[in-house]
Structure 1
């Protein structure tokens, strides 16, 4: 599952319009591009392992409890990062859009809870096959929320992508359940979160957004999850620690990847998470990759890659 990012993430475009790079800086960026791509692929793998652990632990404990522990660790991580930088906590918390920052955190923690619940009820593979439509939701909402002009080609891609979702869900098969809508709702929330990230990035630096994501998420998850606290079995402690550590590692690697290359150039490689998820689901969790899920997910990812390509083309023309 995509996690809180310090800057506009794989599903959103960086605010780089109007920035003119010198030839030397352009050459340096090109030299770092291969390493950034490798880092993004590694991030996708770490996310997949993290999601596999979330599915396993979410079946043994309340998903809200598991998510709350993750965000406690996340809050500690962003606080440590803030203390290591000039200005400390005061600089990290200094936002020009605090209401939107808090709303981002609340949306993300809600989305995380939904996605972990979907992992338990639907499985890792089926959940990610639906959640892959999140970039398409970003495109569909960006016109209304950000005033961006969406051409007919991207609207067609959005429509094709949602046909892929219907293929995954098979609503006419007689086995369609309300649980199938959980990952779609999570994808919609993450899409809105991504758009809000674009909005706050116009006035707040990435470190501030990252700080507010962790803190707002920890406060919200504690308010909801404190009632779900339960004893942890000793043999699950290493798995919980690994889940929290992987969460911190994935954020750190994501920061480094975005320091080396623009988010828009790394977006296609974020889809490798779906490949890793499929391997983990089939080989370690006993899930099956149904033909309709494979076909539908391929259509969704293809539509997402096309919208990314068109967005990149439009930005170059502008």
Structure 2
């Protein structure tokens, strides 16, 4: 089995895990306030990431944790997770997952703006086309909903988190960054809960559901990290879009959702634009390496 095949398999497994995590969290939004879900999810995630980090010998307390980019990452994590969880409560899972697929496009655009990475006109065109796909899903002026806007805000938060991760000190591992990213959700959830009110004592089923979502999410994150390390990034990364396939299947089976033609069309445009952008990035990297050789 080639390294690229193993990497692709791990990436698909990771995306399936994230889709299951989304489905589990959405299933408890009728019972728990979003603030409560953030507190519970953040607590579980912090503990699990801390255990994984310690098992690898990573330092949980490091001077570079005070770096401004680490703080920016935590804020972006809060923004992304807060609005994403809110969108799960307000919008269909299929719509939320479709908009989430635009994250890589925003990351590429952000890398060009903030890190000075070279992005040619073809990739800018693909990014613009992807944003057209976002508009098709959102349908502003026709069926624009608060849930869809929350999903869009969550997607932007996750994209900023990924960009901040790239700019974080290399002395901090992804697992340590994960610890503090999830830890930041706890006070954020507490503040939101204090504002909205409506807290209830979670049932054993809700507690188990959020706990399972945390375990599945951390496992998916671990598989994602392994996939990026095993195979070539340009080969493995396009398989991120399988998350939408899993999400559509789960949305249909669990929530009886039936995405309309516009949502499916917008999803296809976003995914096609993202895959083209990633493949074009791979070609640009190969050309750069060949010129430097």
Same fold (TM over 0.5): yes
* Residue 155 of structure 1, aligned match among 107, 111, 124: 124
State the 1:87 CA deviation.
5.8
Q: 1:97 to 1:150 in 2, by over 3 A?
A: farther
Q: 1:252 to 1:139 in 2, by over 3 A?
A: closer
1:275-294 correspondence runs (5 A): 275-294=245-264
State the 1:33 CA deviation.
2.2
* Structure 1 counterpart of 2:291: none
1:225-264 correspondence runs (5 A): 225=193, 229-264=199-234
Q: How many residues are matched?
A: 286
* Structure 2 counterpart of 1:33: 4
Q: 1:259 to 1:222 in 2, by over 3 A?
A: farther
* Structure 2 counterpart of 1:140: 109
State the 1:169 CA deviation.
1.9
Decide which moves more: 38-47 or 251-260: 251-260
Q: Does 1:197 align with 2:165?
A: yes
Q: Does 1:206 align with 2:174?
A: yes
Q: Does 1:126 align with 2:95?
A: yes
Contact 2:73–2:161 under 8 Å retained in 1 = yes
State the 1:251 CA deviation.
2.3
State the 1:315 CA deviation.
1.3
Which whole-Å deviations, capped at 9, do the CAs of 1:24-57 have from their partners, x for residues lacking one?
xxxxxx8322122111111111111110111111
Q: Which 5+ residue runs of structure 1 have no aligned equivalent?
A: 1-29
1:64-213 correspondence runs (5 A): 64-86=35-57, 88-90=59-61, 93-95=62-64, 98-173=67-142, 175-200=143-168, 202=170, 204-213=172-181
Decide which moves more: 211-220 or 61-70: 211-220
State the 1:275 CA deviation.
0.4
Contact 2:48–2:215 under 8 Å retained in 1 = no
SS of structure 2 residue aligned to 1:184: helix
- The TM-score, its normalising length taken from structure 2, stands at 0.88
Q: Which 5+ residue runs of structure 2 have no aligned equivalent?
A: 289-293
Contact 1:96–1:203 under 8 Å retained in 2 = no
CA distance in 2, matches of 1:209, 1:263: 21
SS of structure 2 residue aligned to 1:271: helix
RMSD value, Cα: 2.3
State the 1:96 CA deviation.
6.8
Decide which moves more: 77-86 or 281-290: 77-86
CA distance in 2, matches of 1:313, 1:108: 31
CA distance in 2, matches of 1:236, 1:118: 19
Contact 1:102–1:213 under 8 Å retained in 2 = no
CA distance in 2, matches of 1:130, 1:37: 22
